Every structure is written in structure tokens, then in C-alpha cells.
Amino acid sequence: MTATPAWPAPVPPTYPAMDVVGRAARLREGLEEVGCEALLVNRLVNTRYLTGFTGSAGILVVTRDELVLVTDGRYRDQAEEQLAAAGVEAAKVEIGQTAAEQQELLTTATAGIGRLGLEAAHVSWSAQRRYAEDWFPDAELVATEGLVERLRQHKDTGELARLAAAAALADSALATVRPRLGEGPTEAEIALELDSEVRRLGADGASFETIVASGPNAAKPHARPGGRRIEEGDLVVIDFGALVEGYHSDMTRTTIIGSPSPTQQRMLDVVAASQAAGVAAVVAGTGCVDVDHACRGVIDDAGWEAAFLHGTGHGVGLDIHEDPRVGRSSTANLEVGHVVTVEPGVYLPEHGGVRIEDTVVVTATGSRLLTHAPKEPNLP
Ligand code: ZN
Ligand code: ZN
């Protein structure tokens, strides 16, 4: 007898194209504003955004009229293929087998550049000294902040499709695995099942280390899943996501095993109301701080201001946590095309924890949820 294959036939889904080419043009506008003729992109996820290249090493130079990606021999073919697939035709791939060769290629690519922007948040002190002394001695190095990250906040149709697909995979995985919570599994077993299920459904992997936190562990917002068995009376916080073509999903649901205590019931009700208030506040033009305020107000009114231990949310995209941040000290306003999470929580060591998180797209008419798993805390 042959076993039925557990894996579906690999039919890779196709998503709407992303406007990768247009990104460098928008970046050049930002470079103009800070008076730089070129940007040295050290952060790989930003290089991916600008070129489609997914390798683990490489430095990109964006000048006024070209893109030069300097990487090593491992990525000779992959880099050419990925840039072509992304439609980035005005880009050159240069292969340096040694650090010295790569340095020479970068020095050549920036020849004649007066003001060269560096991604200040992503260049180490030693790299900065090397760049100033040896690599680019003729250029004035300029510390820039978030030039690419700012562009990445606005998701295009292709990016939204990938984020929606990742969120849908996580919804399906949770629907499959959640009923098992009542069978006394360990946290680690549930985490493993979720991770396997998102991959089986076609995700490239989990979008971050899956959180399954039960009982007293649920009172720690970022507990790691361990050997604790989930039992009657536990609140179980599950926070996880799927990864699709580099795009992350992020969702939290809380389940009560059996009947909640009166305090647990109140925690569930307060967090649900807080989260709904936060999602309702997600509208273009609103300050991220106001979304935070909407969530926090409900929790404060319940007397649990000290039990909400983290920010309200964050942008999601090629990074699991990216701009705009949604918190008490946020200064950004929401704009159409932003994708943010809304994830208030209440954590009480004696009772456990409750967090509910959705990922929300800001649209021209309001907002749209990407995460659709039911929020009902009781197992059927
Ligand atoms: Zn999360
Ligand atoms: Zn999150």
C-alpha cells in the first residue's frame, strides 16, 4: 500500500507584478532632497526592494542614472535572473570574488560622486571608517535615515496581494491546528504544527518565531513556546504568520481552554473592545498615535493601563516590524497603502494574557483587514 502524499502538487501561485522599477526613481527624489548624488544600500532587504535580489550578501549603489549591485560569485546567475525577472533592466551586476575586488568595483561605481549617502542605521562604525579612509576617500559621506524604508511603507497592488496571501495561509493553518488546543498538547507541539502547516499550504516559512504561550506564560507577551502542556483554564496566546515571497503576515488570537474565570472573561472582553476601537481608528490621515490612543483608552478605562506592556502595532511588509510604528510616541500619519497591525493586550501573571492582533490595510475609503481568523475565544 502506498501512502497518500502529504504535500500538495507544487503549483506556485502567481501574484500581480510589483512595480520594482519605479522604486529607484522614487528613491532618487529622496536623494535629491538630502542633496546626495548616490546612495550606498547596505541593508539587504532594501536591496531586495529596489532590485528583486534575495541573496545573503551584496551592496547596491544607486546613482542618478544607474543601479550597480556588487555581490560575490555564489550569486552570479541568481542576481542576473532576479533583476531581469523584476524588470530592473537599467541595473548592472558586478561580481567580486574577494573583498578587495568588491571594494574596487564599488569604488569604480561611485567614481566622480561628490556626496555619497550611507544608510546610517545599517552601517557599522568599522565599515564607516573603512569607507571613509579606503573605499570612498574622494566622496563626502552623508548619513541618511530611512530613505528606502520610507518608500516601503506604501505597498503597491503586487505587495498587497502577497501580504494578503500570507495572511490567508496563516488563517487556514490556524483553522486546522486550533482544535488541537483542547487535547492537552505542549506549546512547542502546537508551534511546530503551525509552522509545518503554513509550509504545507505553500508559504516559504513562518514569518517569525511562532509564539504559543499558555497559562502563566501567556502573561509574557513574547514567551517562547516550550514543553508546558496546555490545560483546562488556560488562556493561550498564539501569535504567528506566514512568509510569501519575502512578505510577512502577522496575527494573534487568544483561546480559552474550558470556561474562563470572571477576570479572564473580562480580559477577553476588554481586549476585544480595545482592538476593535483600534481597527476602527485606522483611516488615512489619522495619526498612528491616535490608533494607539483608541486602544489604550479602553484598557485604561478598565483599570489595566499597567498591564498593557507594549506598543499597539507596527507596519508589516518585507520586514515583520517596519514603519510606521503605532505607539504612544508615534509621529507618523497613516496614508493609503500603509499596512499596520493593531495588537493590544492585557497581561496579568495570576490570570494569563490576552492579545488580539489583526493586520490592516489603509484604503481610500477606510481600511481592510488581511487577517480573517475568527476571534471567538472558545473552542467549538
Ligand atoms: Zn504578531
Ligand atoms: Zn505584530
Q: What is the CATH number of the domain that holds 54?
A: 3.40.350.10
Residues 209 and 118 in one domain: no
Pair (364, 269) in one structural domain? yes
Residue 1, pLDDT score: 46
Q: Are residues 123 and 240 in the same domain?
A: no
Cα of 21 vs centre of ligand 2, distance in Å, is: 29
Q: How many separate domains does the chain show?
A: 2
Q: What is the pLDDT of residue 380?
A: 85
CATH number at residue 233: 3.90.230.10
| Domain of 80, in residue numbers | 21-152
CA of 310, nearest ligand number: 2
**How many angstroms does the Cα of residue 18 sit away from the middle of ligand 2?**
24
Separation of first and last alpha carbons in the chain: 35
Question: Which ligand does the CA of 311 lie closest to?
Answer: 2
Find the ligand nearest to 342 CA.
2
Q: How much distance in Å is there from the Cα of 288 to the middle of ligand 1?
A: 17
Q: Where in 5-123 does DSSP place strands (E)?
A: 38-41, 59-62, 67-71, 91-95, 115-119
Residue 3 lies in a domain: no
Do 39 and 52 belong to one domain? yes
Shared domain for 295 and 178, answered yes or no, is yes
Does 257 lie in the same domain as 135? no
Residue 345 belongs to some domain of the structure: yes
Q: Is residue 15 part of a domain?
A: no
Q: How far is the CA of 355 from the centre of ligand 1 (A)?
A: 9
Q: Are residues 179 and 309 in the same domain?
A: yes
| 110 and 200 belong to one structural domain | no
33/179 same-domain check:
no
Half-sphere exposure in the Cβ direction for 348 (13 Å, CA): 18
What separation in Å is there between the alpha carbon of 296 and the centre of ligand 1?
A: 18
Q: Does 250 reside within a domain?
A: yes
174 and 52 both lie in a single domain: no
Query: Do the Cβ atoms of 359 and 250 come closer than 8 Å?
Result: yes
Location of C-alpha cell 481600511: 367
* Dihedral sign from CA coordinates of 372, 373, 377, 380: positive
Examine residue 379 and state whether it is found in any structural domain, yes or no. Answer: no
Instruction: Tell me which ligand sits closest to the C-alpha of residue 320.
Output: 2
Q: Which residue, 272, 310, 269, is CA-closest to 292? A: 310
Question: Which of 117, 152, 187 is the last residue before a domain boundary?
Answer: 152
Compute the distance from residue 12 Cα to the ligand 1 centre, in Å: 26
pLDDT of residue 350: 96
Task: Please give the distance, rounded to the nearest whole angstrom, from the Cα atom of residue 188 to the centre of ligand 2.
Answer: 20
Which of 152, 183, 211 terminates a domain? The answer is 152
For ligand 2, the distance from its centroid to the CA atom of residue 342, given in whole angstroms, is: 8
- pLDDT at position 9 is 53
Residue 335 CA to ligand 2 centre (angstroms):
19
Looking at the structure, do residues 178 and 230 belong to the same domain, yes or no?
Answer: yes
Residue 303 covered by a domain: yes
* Farthest-apart Cα atoms in the chain, separation: 72
Query: Which ligand lies nearest the alpha carbon of 208?
Result: 1
Ligand 2 center to 213 CA (angstroms): 15
Note whether 352 and 331 are within 8 A (CB): no
Last residue of a domain, one of 99, 126, 152: 152
Which ligand has the minimum distance to the alpha carbon of residue 253?
1
Q: Ligand 2 center to residue 252 CA distance, Å?
A: 8
Question: Ligand 1 centroid vs 250 CA: distance in angstroms?
Answer: 5
The answer to whether position 136 is within a domain reads yes
Same domain for 129 and 172? Answer: no
**Is 87 within the bounds of a domain?**
yes
> Separation of 321 CA from ligand 1 center, angstroms?
9
Taking the centre of ligand 1 as the mean of its atom positions, its distance from the CA of residue 190, in whole angstroms, is: 16
Question: Going residue by residue through the chain (380 aa), what tens digit of pLDDT does each one get?
Answer: 445 555 555 556 789 999 999 999 999 999 999 999 999 999 999 999 999 999 999 999 999 999 999 999 999 999 999 999 999 988 999 999 999 999 999 999 999 999 999 999 999 999 999 999 999 999 999 999 999 999 999 999 999 999 999 999 999 999 999 999 999 999 999 999 999 999 999 999 999 999 999 999 999 998 999 999 999 999 999 999 999 999 999 999 999 999 999 999 999 999 999 999 999 999 999 999 999 999 999 999 999 999 999 999 999 999 999 999 999 999 999 999 999 999 999 999 999 999 999 999 999 999 999 999 999 999 98
